[in-house]
Structure 1
Amino acid sequence: MLPVSVPPHHRPSLHPPTVGVVVLAVLAVASSAPLVAFAAAPALAIAFWRNLLAVGALGPFALARRRAEFRALVGGARRREGWYCVLSGVALAAHFATWMPSVKLTSVAAATALVATQPVWQGLIARGQGRRLPPAVWAGIGVAVGGAVLASGADFAVSGRAFAGDLLAVAGGLFAAVYTAFGERARVSISTTTYTTVCYGVCALILLVICLVGGVPLGGYDTTTWLAILALVGGAQLLGHSMFNHLLRRIPATTVSVLILLEAPGAALIAWAWLGQLPQVAALPGLGLLLAGIVVVVLGGVRAGRRAVLAPAPADAATPLPDRPAG
């Protein structure tokens, strides 16, 4: 979800409870990939259930509070936003259908780092729409791409399976950027709750069709796997987003954008401590370079956006790059 920046003078000073929220939010999103790797169920089925259960949690509240908004999306004044919600759900389904299987094929560290390339793709989409990107963003894109090539090359030298997982994770980052781009348009005039309910619902429906056509089993899992799926829903799908949105009232959006990137090293540490899983040693320099490049992209985009706000710029002026969806 794209956070809305709050002016610095409106934010309370940082204090221990806020630090606790930061830690909890990072752990929530970082737990996603290790839980997917741990669960004894097909990745596509896990993706379906986490979205369906999220709709089950959000749907009743959204329908009770936003009934008029839903009607406007279907046949009212906000029909265009309704289509953007649907397209966002399609892109989210593609994101989950590529990234979640990647966790089963490559290491958790590689999958989470490579899917974090979403801000890079977001910048390229913005450039394709005619917006100017500052030199710092282009430099960050170059560093991130170089890091991704190094990391994927190391995996290719070891295992074709791991390399396929790397490619799927990169595709997951691309689809996350498309999902964010459509979501940005949809949420101009509709609430986050309504948007999320429709988007997750469309995503779950598409994933259900894919699972049925592909013969992917949707049940028969052991209790531990179901608990892992529920933890995904409560953690990365609901808690992670909510916590980061809460943080925007206390710390700058730029800081939140960078904090979300802690998912990659956080997931790697959880996978090492819990699953005994380590990435290829040869891939570590590339993964580090990749994350450094993404930080440069995020910071460069946000700073350019601040300059555009302080001094009105042409229509093609650079704008801040949205954050990627957690988990």
Structure 2
Amino acid sequence: MHHRLDPLTLAAIGLAVVAVSSSAPLIAYAAAPALAIAFWRNFLAVGVLGPAALVSRRAELRDMITGDRRRELRYSALAGLALAAHFATWMPSAQLTSVATATALVATQPVWQGLLALAQGRRLPPTTWIGIGIAVTGAIIATGADVGSSGRALAGDLLALAGAVSIAVYTSLGERARTTLTTTAYTLVCYSVCAATMLVVCLVGGVQLGGYGHTTWLAILGIVLGAQLLGHSMFNYALHKVSATTVSMLVLLEVPGSALIAWLWLGQVPRAAAYPGLALLVAGVAVVVLGSARTLRRPAEPVV
């Protein structure tokens, strides 16, 4: 049973929406390679979370390596690889296409989550299929607006879609890892694997990891403190008072939020032809989320 919303919870939700909405504009603003930003984002987050986790969750972390939780360790590590794939695709997309389009396309995660569930043998409710159809139609319209404009923008659209697929895989793996693990232990392993993977990718690809101006470093710190730590922490806090479905719907506010910040700060205005597609895309994702919530609330049928 969720309680009535208090001013503190409302403030936390508002702060979380602003924090996650700032991510894509900061990526687009930072004068650094997107892959390098992805590395620093996770590496610095591990630096913040690591000491606390090693003190408070030492026994749990030891059990993941030498005890009965090696299965969870594997899933956590695989989730870290999937998260690295997400950052390696979505973060460059924010620098190739408009912030609004990149954010909207990566918000299709629930659609791909539903298709992954189908591949695992689960049945999808009719509303989920309707939402998937609406979202896919919107994505086609939105990306089609970039076909005639530039190959760079279209490449960004496709990378954003790949980022949505990989974050859906990451969520599925994390769900399995979190069956017995605490958030702290899981997050530390996942972010560590992600940071190590991005470091290898940057070194092999010759990506510059330093030598940036102070404004770029401030942008990277803003991403770490905002979207990486503050945003998701505030949403987790809000779960004490609001449902997970409501939080999922509130996360969709990142789409107009990022677009507004990019317009006011970076002067980015999406192409007019993309607006109908972006609207359909967000509407389709909303239908998928609400349809999934109704399925979870539906009482189980009696066994005969």
Given the alignment of the two structures, is residue 191 of structure 1 paired with residue 182 of structure 2, yes or no? yes
Given the alignment of the two structures, is residue 122 of structure 1 paired with residue 113 of structure 2, yes or no? yes
Query: Distance between the aligned counterparts of 1:267 and 1:132, measured in 2?
Result: 34
Q: What percentage of residue pairs aligned between the two structures are identical?
A: 67
Deviation per CA, 1:261-286: give whole Å up to 9, x if none: 11011000000001111111100100
Q: 1:311 aligns with which of 295, 300, 303?
A: 300
TM-score (norm 2): 0.98
1:64-103 aligned at under 5 Å gives the runs 64-103=55-94
Partner in structure 1 of residue 287 of structure 2: 296
Given the alignment of the two structures, is residue 263 of structure 1 paired with residue 251 of structure 2, yes or no? no
Shift of 1:155: 0.9
Q: 1:25 aligns with which of 3, 11, 16?
A: 16
Q: 1:137 aligns with which of 128, 134, 138?
A: 128
Alpha carbon RMSD of aligned pairs, Å? 1.0
Q: 1:155 aligns with which of 146, 153, 158?
A: 146
What amino acid is the match of 1:37? A
Query: Distance between the aligned counterparts of 1:311 and 1:147, measured in 2?
Result: 34
- Detail structure 1 runs of 4+ shifted over 4 Å in the superposition: none
1:232-251 aligned at under 5 Å gives the runs 232-251=223-242
Which ranges of structure 1 fall in alignment gaps of 5 or more residues? 1-6, 315-327
Shift of 1:15: 2.8
Shift of 1:313: 7.7
Given the alignment of the two structures, is residue 170 of structure 1 paired with residue 161 of structure 2, yes or no? yes
Partner in structure 2 of residue 323 of structure 1: none
Shift of 1:88: 0.1
What amino acid is the match of 2:209? L
Of 247-256 and 286-295, more deviation after overlay is shown by 247-256
Partner in structure 1 of residue 191 of structure 2: 200
Deviation per CA, 1:198-218: give whole Å up to 9, x if none: 000000000000000000000
Query: Distance between the aligned counterparts of 2:10 and 2:71, measured in 1?
Result: 40
Q: 1:209 aligns with which of 186, 200, 207?
A: 200
What amino acid is the match of 1:260? V
Shift of 1:253: 1.6
What amino acid is the match of 1:292? A
Partner in structure 2 of residue 180 of structure 1: 171
What amino acid is the match of 1:170? L
Query: Distance between the aligned counterparts of 1:203 and 1:156, measured in 2?
Result: 32
TM-score (norm 1): 0.91
Which ranges of structure 2 fall in alignment gaps of 5 or more residues? none
Secondary structure at the counterpart of residue 158 of structure 1: coil
Query: Distance between the aligned counterparts of 1:195 and 1:43, measured in 2?
Result: 25
